Structure 1
Amino acid sequence: MNPASLGRHDSWEGVRAVVAGFGVSGFAAADNLLHLGAAVTALDERADGPDGRAAKAELLEVLGAQIRLGEGATATLPDDVDLLVTSPGWRPDAPLLAQARDRGVPVWGEVELAWRLRDPQHDTPWLAVTGTNGKTTTVRMLDAILKAAGLRSVAAGNVGLPLVEAVMDPEPYDVLAVELSSFQLHYTDSMSAQAAAVLNVAEDHLDWYPSMSDYAADKGRIYDRTQRACVYNAADPVTEALVREADVVEGARAVGFTLGMPSVGMLGVVEDILADRAFIEERETSAAELCTLQDLTAPGTPGPAPHTVQNALAAAALARAHGVPQAAVRDGLRGFRPDGHRIALVAERAGVAWVDDSKATNPHAALASLLAYDPVVWVAGGLAKGASFDDLVRSVAGRLRGAVLLGRDRDVIAEALARHAPDVPVIVVDTRETAVTEGDHASVEAQPMRRVVAAAAGLARPGDTVLLAPGCASQDMFTDYAARGDAFAAAVQELTG
């Protein structure tokens, strides 16, 4: 049976679906396909983990699914398959996906499945966000703005609620704030967002993509079939080029955002005011005030970082494209607080500030963080994912007091520092890579971070900031970036009392 012709009100009985990957999105896809009547087989190489997949597998088996978990489970695509739904982290050259393509079996991501399962009687608009950095913050800002406007919204996709669960909710949402990764967009072919934004495109995931142009092209897929507004970063020419190349719905506009004075059709900053010259009738001669920089300033900080302002402008542009009034933009942004491990002050003692930005998992994000402090002792390292650190080090060499490096790809950063900042003292903490297994993760992960924090304390002077902005992913030594940030915070608290 051809699933491409089916929607949420059709019977999926007779559709044989395979769900590859049994994480959060994979479970949501399998669960809802079973609900629709499909015959579901779920496959994953991992039999269990901190997400409780063994218990979820047992539940789905009770509901009638076939579950294959463990080594070798994903080597072969079962016979007689009508649809393969893949989790976003799966590379296109994975054997299971290659077998599906060879057989002509359609391959969808969870996002594609969710788009096809929308309720035609309640056509909930999607406001979609992608970019190398800032996606989660922007989507959460957007959700706060939408809620301030009195709308029933939710952050979904790569953050928050799985999209399939969001669209299948019996009580329809008014609007969805959707975060999409490049991996999710790679497997998405029919989505038509009401408005979409690419925040930035910088070097990342080059262990997954053959080139930067392939990575950027997947980011740009978010603009395809956009209905009202393609929001781009005026400081990032790649995002504007992606808008120019997009095949949009007739009437959709390009809307830029800038930290400078906005031109007609853009959002920007006028003195200390975030201003809209895109979604008002008088945009040729005036601008609408959305909020002030003070509205974006977290308690205890002198003002918002530039990337925070950019994220707010992008969120505001998407909300305004949906028709949200100015006051709701102000109220939503004024009440917004970022998630943990994003420029979070951990402690301040003897004139030294300790800041956790463990969410800075690539060089572009680490650069944005480092530019907010001077002088700084930089704590970095982990899984570089094929990225280079030369441009970053060249940009911040003058503000580095020192650097403390850990993790599998620490030498990549050390070599960039030696080339471009040879006078900056560097301490390499040669920790054993800690395999993350079941048990007491926290105690295992804390041990190397104690040595890192002690080394950073030896470099720091009064007036300095010790900044955890790793520029790398965390899974070589930690369960995730949050666990890395928690280990850093715990070690700092232990040291400073």
Structure 2
Amino acid sequence: MKKAMIYGAGISGKSVIKLLEKNKWETVLVDDKIGVSSTDAVAYLEGVDLFVKSPGIPYNDLIEKAKKKGIKVVNEIEVSYNYMKKTSKTKIIAITGTNGKTTTTSKLAGLLNASGIRSIAAGNIGTPYSEAVLEKEKYEYIVLELSSYQLENLYEFKADIAMIINLAPDHLNRYRDADEYYDTKFNVGMNQNSKDKFIINIDDLEITKRLDRINGEILKLSLEENTDICVYENNLYFRGEQITAIDNFSLKGRHNLQNMLFVVGTAKLIGIDNNVISNFLENTNSLEHRMEDFYTYKIKKNIVKFINDSKGTNLESTIKAIGAFEKPILICGGCDKNLELTPLIEKIKKSVKEIYLIGELAPKLESKLLSVNYPKEDIYTTKTLEKALITLEKKIKNMDGSKNLTVLLSPATSSFDQFKSFEERGKIFKKLVLEKFKEES
């Protein structure tokens, strides 16, 4: 019996254990809370044929010792792919990029299902790939959102259709520099050949610099140029064919238009009817935690909108979120990813009314803002989300005059210093807002 060591008891770790055990593998779970400790696990490496590393775990001593013993280190994506391709004709659409992955993945799977093509959104979006392949006969397509972490330690994985939405610096606490992070993203197209498709955003310089890394057939997408998938005079085109007008799309904003170009381009490659595409894009809803306008509070003559953008986990996404509103009040901060903060600081100085800083990154953000002469009286370093809302509650309930304000949670970084996930952060934000700003009847 073959033996696998699974490092990490998260959702994907538990799911891949089910997949391996279904295939008669012996498994050893390493997890400092509910499994063999990472320290003790070294003694269990003897006889291990495969080491499955959860994406978020750093490359520590245990992993290095596994490599020195010649044990193949992979991730859940690789294990799942190898199982699926041996037993199924289900096709893979793989989506990565710095921003827009989740929206593109969920909406593409939704459109496929609306057209009668049995599909599931999986991977980084919530449902593990290994869980989806356990029910692979249900699906004609698995639409995978893949983070850079999930694109490490791949060998045989291959997508029928791959895409990179955009690239911006992120996760520099993991990667040597931005180039290493960008290069890792291109693993989404590994092992492709000329029969496979790779959709790229040619408006992104970092993507176009790496075209030599692509072996699949390239389809170019742009909001600026006339190319394979593009917009011209308020109409969306695919290879010269007018597909649909964009005026009635339910998801607003330039970033969402870019995401929908990827959705439509993929849909046309698969052969979905234009009327089905138009109807879906005119009626689909925005996702929770992504620029979610979830509550409006009215007090005296003042109106305060609360926006939950907890999915804003990098600088670029928060810069875009700030730009969508007129002088918002920003709640920002979380883990320190060692990123160059200057672009965000400049945007805050120019466009944010006042800022509430939370999490590990708060002191650094405060220092940077003061160094560019952002008004000290408009900086509130509350450290926690709850304290930020307590401070805001006092200020807003004592406002005079007639004002329209927007309170925007867009942290610009990940949540793991204080929360389990961006979803937990967003849900707690909404709960606190509804508790503290409940309108009196």
For residues 70-219 of structure 1, what are the structure 2 equivalents within 5 Å? Answer: 70=37, 72-74=39-41, 76-91=43-58, 93-120=59-86, 122-169=88-135, 171-219=137-185
The equivalent residue for 2:213 is 246
Change in 2 beyond 3 A, CA 1:313/1:170: closer
Contact 2:306/2:407 (<8 A) preserved:
yes
In structure 1, what is the equivalent of residue 370 of structure 2? 418
> Equivalent of 1:296, from 228, 250, 254?
250
Shift of 1:336: 2.3
Alpha-carbon distance in structure 1 between the residues aligned to 2:162 and 2:395: 41
How far, CA to CA, are the matches of 2:206 and 2:60 in structure 1?
A: 29
Aligned with 1:407 (options 359, 373, 385): 359
1:307 and 2:255 are equivalent in the alignment: yes
TM-score for both structures, normalised by structure 1? 0.81
Residues of 1 paired with 2:310 and 2:392: CA distance? 14
Give the Cα–Cα distance (whole angstroms) in 2 for the partners of residues 221 and 404 of structure 1.
37
Cα 1:360–1:274 shift into 2, 3 Å = same
Which residue of structure 2 aligns with residue 341 of structure 1? 289
Shift of 1:288: 1.9
Q: Please state whether the residue corresponding to 1:351 is helix, strand or coil.
A: strand
Q: Which amino acid aligns with 2:28?
A: T
Tell me if the contact between 1:88 and 1:183 (Cα under 8 Å) persists in the aligned partners: yes
In structure 2, what is the equivalent of residue 326 of structure 1?
A: 274
1: CA distance, partners of 2:394 / 2:260:
36
Report the Cα distance in structure 1 between the residues aligned to 2:353 and 2:321, rounded to whole angstroms: 15
C-alpha displacement at 1:475, in angstroms?
2.2
Instruction: Verify: 1:27 aligned to 2:14, yes or no.
Output: yes
Output one character per residue of 1:420-455: Cα deviation in whole Å (capped at 9) or x when no partner. Answer: 452474323344x7xxxxxxxxxxxx7424335337
Structure 2 distance, partners of 1:479, 1:456, is 29
Counterparts of 1:456 and 1:88, CA distance in 2: 42
- What is the rounded CA distance, in whole Å, between the counterparts of 1:241 and 1:124 in structure 2? 32
Q: Percent of counterpart pairs with the same letter?
A: 25
Q: Is the 8 A contact 2:286 2:292 kept in 1?
A: no
The CA RMSD measured in Å over matched residues stands at 2.3
Query: Are the equivalent residues in 2 in contact too, given 1:44–1:73 (CA < 8 A)?
Result: no
Tell me by how many angstroms 1:390 deviates.
0.9
Does 2:433 align with 1:492? yes
Q: Rate the CA distance shift 1:489–1:144 in 2: closer, same or farther, 3 A.
A: same
CA contact (8 A) 1:194 1:229 kept: yes
**Cα shift at 1:346:** 2.9
Whole-Å separation in 2 of the counterparts to 1:407 and 1:114: 35
Q: Does the CA contact (< 8 Å) of 1:377 and 1:459 recur in 2?
A: no
Structure 1 segments unaligned to the other structure (5+ residues): 1-13, 48-67, 278-282, 298-303, 434-445
Contact 1:453–1:492 under 8 Å retained in 2: no
Partner of 2:312: 360
Work out whether residues 234 and 258 of structure 1, in 8 Å CA contact, stay in contact via their aligned partners in 2.
yes
Question: Structure 2 stretches of 5 or more lacking a match?
Answer: none
> Deviation of residue 291 (structure 1)?
4.6
Residue pair 2:112, 2:119 contacting (<8 A) in 1 also: yes
Query: Given the superposition, is the C-alpha separation of residues 486 and 144 from structure 1 closer, same or farther in structure 2, using an over 3 Å criterion?
Result: same
2:223 is equivalent to residue 259 of structure 1: yes
Distance of 1:333 and 1:375 partners within structure 2: 30
Find the aligned partners of 2:315 and 2:374 in 1 and give their Cα distance. Answer: 19
How far the C-alpha of 1:386 sits from its partner, in A, is 1.4
1:454 pairs with 2:393: yes
Structure 2 equivalent of residue 429 of structure 1: 381
Partners of 2:142 and 2:13 in 1: CA distance = 20
Classify the secondary structure of the residue corresponding to 1:355: strand
Deviation (angstroms), 1:239 = 1.7
Residue 234 and residue 46 in structure 1: after superposition, are their counterparts in 2 closer, same or farther (change >3 A)? same
Equivalent residues of 2:45, 2:66 under 8 A apart:
no
Change (3 A) 1:100 1:322: farther
